[in-house]
Amino acid sequence: MPKVKINDIEVEVPAGTNMIEAAAVAGVDIPHYCYHPNLSVAGNCRMCLVDIVGGRAPEIACNMQARDGLAIRTDTPAVKKMRQSVMEFMLVNHPLDCPICDQSGECRLQDYYMEHGDYDSRGVEEKVSKKKRQDIGDKIVLDAERCVECSRCVRFGDEVTGTGDLRLMNRGDHTEIGMFPGERLQHHYQGNLADICPVGALTNRDFRFQRRVWYLKQTASICSGCATGCNIQVCHQEGEVFRYLPRRNDAVNKSWMCDEGREQVAGISGLKRILRSRVDGKTVDTEAALIALAARLKSATHVGVVLGSQATNEANWALLQTVRKNLKSARIFVTAGNDPGSFEYADKLLVDTDKNPNSAGVDLLAAFDGQVESWEAFGSAVADLDLLLVLEDDVVGRLAGRRTAAAIAYLGVSRNATSEAGSIVVPVCHPVEMDGSYVNRQGRVQRIRRAVNAAGDALPAWLIVDRLGAKLGVAPGTGMVAAAFNSMARAVPQMRGLEFKTLSEAGQQLIVETAPVAPTEATV
């Protein structure tokens, strides 16, 4: 691997690494607008100009590949002057929109002006005005004046979505970004345009004027919209979640996420949330509901339990353990397919047909147990069951009118056909309200983290099941999320050696690819 020097700091980087990334390894920040790690190099912003030691002229770091003996300097007076000049050039036609611009607080122009610009304005001429507040898509508002022509959005359309919709038009200081006449953005990844735009030219319509970004706290988590398991930052303030941002993980979602994933923010505090426990139509506290549920589980002859591919590994593990330890005759099922009513779109980029974030995790636990029955077996058995315990899965909706069990107990986040049919309903935390882990479609274990407090009486599912286990006789010992995960990791061979505490931000690829769904007819 080539060794390069950045400001006399020597680092060894893989061949082909550009000098912005190499400098980041050395702890040196090279300012840039047009360079993006997941897009091709355009080299048109000129902000990353650096001096080459022994070189003839400055060069852009983003297009400079590491080679042995290469030494650059970012602290020479010439580099400082270049950065200042580039800033001045970019800001010469930039409107003073900061008070109304949603990008304020995470704007590269603001940050780099304070760091590298810092000059007195020499502007005497009128700024070139362009069209503001353009409606170019359902999710994006374009302000052509604020654009610095970095062409990140153009490359995103060309390289990631392949739609090629945004273009740079006209010349000189009249250059502006825009769509072809009469066209609007059609793809499902529009939100990313607002994320990659280093300034406020492309902003998110859903987040528009909602909150200033400097108020928002960020919690690293996983999107629960589909089986892809995109890494996200949950942006929240005072217990309210305002947006999801993609978190870079080149093994899963690079720097992107889909619009449907972002839209899930609306469901967190939405009207459909279950807030209180309910037994036979009466609102009770969760403790009373669990006592009633334990009593009914004990007295019922034919008990069925459905593992939830919407729920975390910990919750499913807790449920599996509780049922196996306390209810010897109970039959456990997995579900397959989508929730009816969830968004139906899927593509090859990120959006998966399976809208459950943890199908692979449930399959893994089902394979470990060996006795778990399939969805087909469930379909034929459900009508004979006295009591069906469902974990976060719209079973009734999936059955689509077919006969279901005599009684249903539902542990879930939102109201749906199953919760309406349920005689006992216990509220469960939304994924942003609890800790846990999912296994995505690649067989990668990834952590979700609690960002905000639970709505209403909702509790994490692993805790509810643990309390239920204590009332049934033997608690599964999953009262703490780390304990639940660690006991699962000790038992399940594919997870061996993992520990909840040390699970990295980027997740952990499991030793074996996800196991196939448990055998079906053999166990029925």
- Minimum gap (Å) between residue 77 Cβ and other proteins: 33
Q: Which stretch binds other proteins (CB under 8 A): 109-117, 145-153, 212-220, 418-426?
A: 212-220
Q: Which stretch binds other proteins (CB under 8 A): 210-218, 330-338, 431-439, 486-494?
A: 210-218
* Residue among 426, 366, 347 at smallest CA distance from 391: 426
Cα–Cα separations (whole angstroms), residue 494 to 360, 402, 518: 12, 37, 15
Rounded Cα distance, 477 and 465, in Å:
10
* Residue among 90, 92, 87 at smallest CA distance from 113: 87
Residues 18, 65: contact at Cβ < 8 Å?
Answer: yes
Indicate whether 99 belongs to the interface with other proteins (CB under 8 A).
Answer: yes
Indicate whether 401 belongs to the interface with other proteins (CB under 8 A).
Answer: no
Binding residues with other proteins: total (CB under 8 A) = 12
Nearer to other proteins, 53 or 98 (CB): 98
* 92 Cβ contact list (under 8 Å, min separation 6): 123, 127, 173
Q: Which stretch binds other proteins (CB under 8 A): 211-219, 236-244, 394-402, 514-522?
A: 211-219
**What SS3 class is residue 4?**
strand
- Minimum gap (Å) between residue 127 Cβ and other proteins: 14
**What SS3 class is residue 239?**
coil
Indicate whether 104 belongs to the interface with other proteins (CB under 8 A).
Answer: yes
* Residue among 107, 285, 267 at smallest CA distance from 201: 107
Indicate whether 490 belongs to the interface with other proteins (CB under 8 A).
Answer: no
Place of tokens 């315990």: 389
- Minimum gap (Å) between residue 213 Cβ and other proteins: 10
Work out the angle between the directed axes of helices 313-326 and 481-491 (0-180°, nearest 10): 70
Rounded Cα distance, 68 and 4, in Å:
6
What are the residues facing 424 on neighbouring strands? 279, 409
Q: Which stretch binds other proteins (CB under 8 A): 62-70, 94-102, 230-238, 340-348?
A: 94-102
* Residue among 270, 294, 293 at smallest CA distance from 456: 270
Helix, strand, coil distribution of the chain in percent, nearest 5: 30, 20, 50
Nearer to other proteins, 3 or 211 (CB): 211
- Minimum gap (Å) between residue 147 Cβ and other proteins: 16
Indicate whether 163 belongs to the interface with other proteins (CB under 8 A).
Answer: no
Counting Cβ atoms within 10 Å, is residue 341 exposed (0-12), middle (13-18) or buried (19+)? Answer: exposed
Indicate whether 237 belongs to the interface with other proteins (CB under 8 A).
Answer: no
- Minimum gap (Å) between residue 173 Cβ and other proteins: 21
Q: Which stretch binds other proteins (CB under 8 A): 18-26, 205-213, 216-224, 314-322?
A: 205-213
Residue type, 440: N
Indicate whether 209 belongs to the interface with other proteins (CB under 8 A).
Answer: yes
Nearer to other proteins, 208 or 298 (CB): 208
Question: Given candidates 98, 291, 381, 480, which one binds other proteins under the rule CB under 8 A?
Answer: 98
Indicate whether 214 belongs to the interface with other proteins (CB under 8 A).
Answer: yes
Q: Which stretch binds other proteins (CB under 8 A): 1-9, 207-215, 255-263, 325-333?
A: 207-215
Q: Which stretch binds other proteins (CB under 8 A): 93-101, 235-243, 308-316, 336-344?
A: 93-101
- Minimum gap (Å) between residue 35 Cβ and other proteins: 30
Residues 443, 252: contact at Cβ < 8 Å?
Answer: no
**What SS3 class is residue 410?**
strand
Indicate whether 217 belongs to the interface with other proteins (CB under 8 A).
Answer: no
Indicate whether 132 belongs to the interface with other proteins (CB under 8 A).
Answer: yes
Phi then psi dihedrals of residue 210, to 5 deg = -70, -50
Indicate whether 100 belongs to the interface with other proteins (CB under 8 A).
Answer: yes
Indicate whether 114 belongs to the interface with other proteins (CB under 8 A).
Answer: no
Q: Which stretch binds other proteins (CB under 8 A): 203-211, 222-230, 312-320, 399-407?
A: 203-211
Nearer to other proteins, 96 or 400 (CB): 96
Indicate whether 54 belongs to the interface with other proteins (CB under 8 A).
Answer: no
Rounded Cα distance, 209 and 222, in Å:
25
**What SS3 class is residue 221?**
strand
Nearer to other proteins, 54 or 209 (CB): 209
Indicate whether 133 belongs to the interface with other proteins (CB under 8 A).
Answer: yes
Indicate whether 169 belongs to the interface with other proteins (CB under 8 A).
Answer: no
Q: How many CA atoms lie within 13 A of 1 on its CB side?
A: 8
Rounded Cα distance, 12 and 106, in Å:
31
**What SS3 class is residue 34?**
coil
Work out the angle between the directed axes of helices 313-326 and 359-369 (0-180°, nearest 10): 30
Q: Which stretch binds other proteins (CB under 8 A): 18-26, 80-88, 96-104, 456-464?
A: 96-104
Indicate whether 212 belongs to the interface with other proteins (CB under 8 A).
Answer: yes
Residues 103, 94: contact at Cβ < 8 Å?
Answer: no
Nearer to other proteins, 209 or 501 (CB): 209
Applying CB under 8 A, the residues found at the interface with other proteins are 98-100, 104, 132-133, 208-210, 212, 214-215
